[in-house]
Chains A and B, each alone.
Chain A
Amino acid sequence: MIRDGQARGPALVSTQAIGFFGGVDPETSVVVEPGHELEGQAIAGSILVFPHGKGSTVGSYTLYRLCKSGLGPSGIINSQSEAIVAVGAIIADIPMVDHIDISQIRTGDTVTIEGQTIEITRPDTQS
């Protein structure tokens, strides 16, 4: 666990790394990196699930600004944390959990973060 806290929201899952600086529009929270699998999607209010960060260390500040203006993710789940996202989550005051097998989570699942614990609720797809 990188930052303790509680959060609940719809999962937005990316199998690709995310670079916040230049990759996410700080005014809208929309992923703008050309060709990224989340391109065009807003990350605001989601539990953002991705392997790890990438790109410029200024990305920590981008994440901070998104959260300060109410456009940040509610929480972050990484398979392996690195400095950019970890520092961003700390200065932005959002919970962040690492060392998670993110292949278990799908976009649209409702995810609850309670400190170290993650609970996944999947909408019933049978009916």
Chain B
Amino acid sequence: MSQAFVIEVDGLYKYFDQFCAVDNLRFQAKRGVTTALLGGNGAGKTTTIAMLLGLLTPSQGQIRILGEDMLQHRYRLLHRMNFSSPYVDLPQRLTIRENLTVYGHLYRLPRLKLRIEELAGALRLDTLLDKRYGQLSAGQKTRVSLAKSLLNEPELLLMDEPTASLDPDTADSIRSYLEQYQRDTGASILLASHNMAEVERMATDVIMMRKGQVVDTGTPAGLLAKYGRNNLEEVFIDIARHKEPA
């Protein structure tokens, strides 16, 4: 196993009763860059991410994260990674500060108050810290989820649709922040997204999934050339509709 890869997935299967959601999945994601995991609804992206996070036990196969076996060293690895998704809520009645404090303690962070202030400033949450999470707009909630995911300065950040339901301005500022974070820390990002413009902007590598399998991989530019298309959205549609490269 190489130190060049932050995620190495080999022969991964996930069955729900008779249904095969992930079917002999194999891929690698490089360290220090953003890798996009793309696919239509039901392609197996969320199932894959859940297995990478240890929320879901694989039926078979191997997952190595940061060079270690995820199934054996889950808790040691969870200190070094984090997750953000607009589809997983935080407690609504707690304020942003309270939510971040709880999660900071879960990661046993030193200088927690300072870390929360830093993140709140960087993500324009400083004036909202004492507001309840349930009273926030969708964009503000996404920024809180991002703040939560960055609390422990993760070496690997898994993101499921990080800018879903955000206006273009907020989405752009989040992407810029993530790019800055990556430059500052050398962190790796695995990004599941349906926003192809976002993928073209952020991702160094793309993994295309369909029916629980990897159907193609490459750089955004490489995939555009391979499929003879002008943008990733057209490539995505080609793959979803089982069209062969040009």
A and B: real partners?
A: no
What is B's interface to A at a CB cutoff of 8 Å?
none
What is A's interface to B at a CB cutoff of 8 Å?
none
